[in-house]
Structure 1
């Protein structure tokens, strides 16, 4: 059965896409810890990050770095935090979260944006790539 991320990659579920390549896609998390919370996902459905072939893992990190730099140019923050948890969706993904303090990384406090705010934010991050 396809993960929710595979359905997003295949266009079966909409997303607030920032960018994509042949191998990866980046889109805004719709249940964000903070404004700009972004997911970087390999298009190949692999459950655990350390099960990825090393070359694909390194490419995912390079892709995530580019997105993080654009994200930091877009959303005022002290830094961009990165987390790989992987328990909620069985498809490798990197969380990029604009941080003001440690609570932004706890996955307990969420922020809310309107669909218009999500769309505009994704567009501006993409422009900063």
Structure 2
């Protein structure tokens, strides 16, 4: 059975995408730790990151770094946080979170956010990605 992420990638369930390429997508989480919290998700449904092909894993990390730089610009933070968890959804996903402080690494701080707040944060992130030269991969709102 397809994971919820696969269903979102296929368009069966709505999602707020900021990046799409042949290997992965980047989309908002509905329970962000901080505004701008996104997930880098491979199109291929692989439960554990250790089972990803090395080239796919490297691509995910490259995109996470690009997105992290854009988050630093868009949200005025010095750092971003990258975490790979994968216990709730058996489909590898890399969390990229604007990190104003160490609290951004604590998923206990995640709360459901209003759709308007998520859309506003994703618009800021899309703008920063375009400014940084990645317009060809920026997903339409």
User: TM tier, shorter chain?
Assistant: over 0.9
1:20 match: 20
Contact 1:35/1:111, CA 8 A, preserved across alignment: no
1:75-86 equivalences in 2 (<5 Å)? 75-86=75-86
Secondary structure class of the residue paired with 1:108? helix
1:101 match: 101
2:60 match: 60
> Which of the pair is proportionally richer in helix?
2
TM-score (norm 2): 0.86
Contact 1:78/1:99, CA 8 A, preserved across alignment: yes
TM-score (norm 1): 0.93
CA RMSD of aligned residues (A): 1.2
Secondary structure class of the residue paired with 1:92? coil
Q: Distance in 2 between matches of 1:122 and 1:108?
A: 22
Q: Which runs of 5+ in 2 are unaligned?
A: 130-141
Secondary structure class of the residue paired with 1:128? helix
Question: What is the CA-CA distance between 1:111 and the residue it aligns to?
Answer: 4.3
Q: How many residues matched?
A: 129
Secondary structure class of the residue paired with 1:44? coil
